[in-house]
Amino acid sequence: MYHHVKKLMYTVRVDEPDPRFGNMLLEQFGGANGELAAAMQYSIQGINCEDAARKDMLMDIGTEELSHLEVVGCLARLHLKPSKFDREAAEADPLIAIAGGGGVNLFNSQGNPWTADYLKITGELDVDLRSNIAAEARAKIVYERLINFTDDAGTKDALQFLMSREIAHMKSFTAALVSMEKPPFTIGRIAATPGLINQYVNDSTGVGDEGEIDTRGPWNEGDGWEYVPSPALQNAAAEDSSSALVVESTPSQAPEDFQSLLIDELRDLLHAEKQLVKALPEMVEAARHDKLRELFEVHLAETEAQVERLNECFDLLGETARAKPCKGMMGLVEEGNEVIKEGEEKGDAAADLALIGAAQRVEHYEISGYTTAKNLAQQLHHSAIVALLSKSLAEEENADQLLNQVARSLMSVARLPAPAEPV
């Protein structure tokens, strides 16, 4: 819920209006690196974010960017004001003067309308945070250039304030990214091919007629880099296998035992899911928080559907849907029963948090199993099986995220006050 406070975050003062400079300011109002683009990008990322803590940060900064939009808009309007009544000022930008009445609109400095194409939203939090850091850096440079093109003291002060806040946002986004503790080049979930990610291909090579001089630096030497001379200029008759570009990430054919391994994984998963169909009703009964109980009920229905999907996988493979005893899930279910029994002596929040811990161990175990089975099915080109397993995997990952949300809610409600300072 938004609430407009009728007070600027920064008081805008313009001593000498300059309509041409007002037009430049529109770059930060309706341009690609402007405040509206930032406000929309961070807010929509926040709406999509499953991480409650970083969602709060994204919504905070997105809301602040909306206030910056108002500051820039007021600043631009004051500079454009003469175009309402002065012919010479109006000629500086007829679009603003005639079509817009001397006010601001969602255009950039060239009169191009604002577009959602400016937004960089992937739904992957670490990728989005990197985009945000870059967006703040670009906005900082735009403000710096604007400062250099005005002599108005009040305008410079306002732009200095806005430019400085861009750095503050960069710091927040960077700290949030670091706090995720993800290796910097681990993007998404599918691992890259090691040989390819460590090769630097010298594709602008040679001197004289063949190009400029080659340079070496930390981007292509040391730290595990393999330097590959330009493939286009290499003599095909003298191929050097030690420096050849790696072009295949996987063998063209899967080993024959992959099929039997996939069947074993599916039978293990089938037994695991059947155990959960029996165990989840007890977790529903043990849950005390309404949201947790509802979550378990929904996941019970999902688990029953996952059993049917596994049976369908066996049909596609022409195999009998026979379960293989899953000792790992047996142990997790047994541990869950102990948690339920011990929870009878605990308060509501503590009992439910322990129950969530047991449930998340199960989810992580299943995520591992489905990931392995899906990867094997991909290698064997069983696209229909991949689709079935991917749907179940997505449900397990979503259930894990929902359990996280309930746990954070319970921890927030049960948070103890800070101890009093000694007198």
Handedness of CA 375, 377, 381, 385 (dihedral sign): negative
pLDDT digits (tens, 9 = 90+) for 185-231: 888 877 777 778 888 888 876 565 655 667 778 988 888 888 887 76
Instruction: Give the pLDDT confidence score for residue 206 in this predicted structure.
Output: 59
The arithmetic mean of pLDDT across residues 287-293, rounded, is 92
Instruction: Give the pLDDT confidence score for residue 409 in this predicted structure.
Output: 84
Are 214 and 220 spatial neighbours (Cβ–Cβ below 8 Å)?
A: no
Are 48 and 55 spatial neighbours (Cβ–Cβ below 8 Å)?
A: no
Question: Is 19-179's fold the same as 257-413's?
Answer: yes
CA distances from 127 to 52, 114, 124, 178, 180 (A): 17, 24, 5, 12, 12
Query: What angle separates helix 348-379 from helix 257-286, to the nearest 10 degrees?
Result: 160
CA distances from 123 to 131, 209, 392 (A): 12, 46, 20
The arithmetic mean of pLDDT across residues 230-258, rounded, is 56
State which of 194-203, 252-261, 286-295 shows the largest mean pLDDT. Answer: 286-295
Within 10 angstroms of residue 355's Cβ, the number of other Cβ atoms is 25
pLDDT band at 35 (very low <50, low <70, confident <90, very high): very high
| Residue with the two structure tokens 């293989």 | 324
**Fold that domain 257-413 belongs to in CATH:** Ferritin (1.20.1260)
pLDDT higher than 80, residue 349: yes
pLDDT higher than 60, residue 119: yes
Domain parsing of the chain, residue ranges:
19-179, 257-413
pLDDT digits (tens, 9 = 90+) for 120-154: 999 999 999 999 999 999 999 999 999 999 999 99
pLDDT higher than 60, residue 417: no
Could you tell me what percentage of the chain is helix, strand and coil, using 3-state DSSP and rounding each to the nearest 5?
A: 65, 0, 35
19-179 architecture in CATH? Up-down Bundle (1.20)
